[in-house]
Amino acid sequence: MKYIYAFLILFALAGCSSKKYFEPKVVVGDANYNGSVVTPIVDTVRDGATLADGRVITKRSGLIEKGRLPSGFKYINENDSDIIAADIYGDLYIISKSDFSVKNKLKFDSQILSASLKNNLLAMVDAKNNILLYDLSIGKLVYKERLHDAVAVDTRLANPLFLNDLIIYPTLDGRLLIMNMYQKRVLRDIAISDNDIFNNVIFLGVHNNILVASTRTKVISVTPSDIKTLKIGVKDIIYDHDKVYVFTKDGKVLLLTNTLQKLNELELPNAIFSAVFSSDSKLYAVEKTGYLIEISKDLSSYQVRKLSDEIKSPVIGFNGKVYIGDKYIILK
């Protein structure tokens, strides 16, 4: 029996030793921290993050110092004037960005996972995969539809999208439901993928009426006349005007048109992307083993800088700044 144990130990050690990591050929220098936000990030979503003290960092507004979310609430989304925050018990608050006063307190049967607000309409997806539409002007839920149960959910959740007179709901079971906001009627149901677990829509964006959406295993482009698909292991996506950047699970960056035609590809072998974001002229990726990668938008060149440690904390980056845990780096 002892020989069996010894074999199992050697097998396990061999498996560990064969694991491959990102090893850049050239590191141009260190990516040093420029400051601290005092308390760490405790929760991140696609468009923002919540700090331990209740402050929020959003991709639209940056670090908002003037107010705090109520205890137990996490940032979900925002518009020009308001923040949407929710807790795990089905409570949802709409909070003024100007003074952090609570404008609306709403209660639902299940935790709200994603939400968007336009004028008086609040579009939501809850943890039971219900799509919901609430009218703030009358204080009433005006639409609810139960979809298929989601066994497990990727924490990168896309929010519903308002587009002209339409609401596009990204579901937990890998679909897009397109609703007429005035008729309160679903006009189209588009299936992206049908995996049993972690099949929720993790990205949803639109530019010039071309819709791009993704789960962890498939990207789709929807035009008024056609749907294109790309089956690939997706880590994250950046939709920049008419270009789509797909960061894959195996360390590649694809540059695509918004109809998913490949223009270029960059290989970063074994890179694990913890966060990706863009500026006017560059793409940035934070790599899990402790690197900050700066990439030209045509993918023709890149530079790697070393972080002080591997990534063990939530990360969010935008507008020339990246937050990691309780620290931040200003990108030159």
Query: Residue 16's pLDDT is what?
Result: 52
3-state secondary structure of 138: coil
- Identify the three-state secondary structure at position 3: helix
Cβ atoms 249, 271 nearer than 8 A: no
> Strand, coil or helix: what is 12?
helix
Identify the DSSP state of 159: P
Q: What is the pLDDT of residues 105-153, one digit of tens each?
A: 999 999 999 999 999 999 999 999 999 999 999 999 999 999 988 777 8
SS3 181: coil
Tokens 């699970």 -> residue: 249
Q: What is the DSSP letter of 239?
A: E
- 140-144 long-range contacts, CB within 8 A, separation 24+: 142/184, 143/179, 143/184
> Rounded to whole angstroms, how far apart are CA atoms 102 and 320?
30
Query: Do residues 117 and 106 touch, judged by C-beta distance below 8 A?
Result: no
Quick check: 7 pLDDT over 90? Answer: no
- Mean pLDDT value across the chain: 92
Lowest mean pLDDT among 15-24, 68-77, 304-313: 15-24
Task: Convert the pLDDT of each residue in 295-323 to its tens digit.
Answer: 999 999 999 999 999 999 999 998 889 99
Q: d(Cα 234, Cα 218) in Å, to the nearest integer?
A: 7
Confidence (pLDDT) at 210:
96
Q: Which residues of 154-175 are buried (b: 16+ CB within 10 A; e: fewer)?
A: bebbbbbbbeeebbbbbbbbbb
pLDDT at 19 over 90: no
CA distance 276 to 245: 10
Chain segment 160-209, per-residue pLDDT in tens: 999 999 999 999 999 999 999 999 999 999 999 888 788 899 999 999 99
Q: Phi first, then psi: give them for residue 63, nearest 5 degrees.
A: -75, 120
Half-sphere exposure of 208 (CA within 13 A, CB side): 8
DSSP bridge pairs for 286: 275, 292
- Tokens encoding 269: 């072998």
**Angstrom distance (rounded) from CA 131 to CA 143:** 8
> First CA to last CA across the chain, in angstroms?
60
Task: Report domain extents, the chain.
Answer: 26-46+236-332
**Protein fold of 26-46+236-332:** Methylamine Dehydrogenase; Chain H (2.130.10)
- In this structure, the chain runs to a length of 332
Collapsing DSSP to helix, strand or coil, 5 comes out as: helix
Say which residues have a Cβ less than 8 Å from residue 1's Cβ, sequence separation at least 6.
none
Q: Is it the case that residue 1 has pLDDT exceeding 50?
A: no
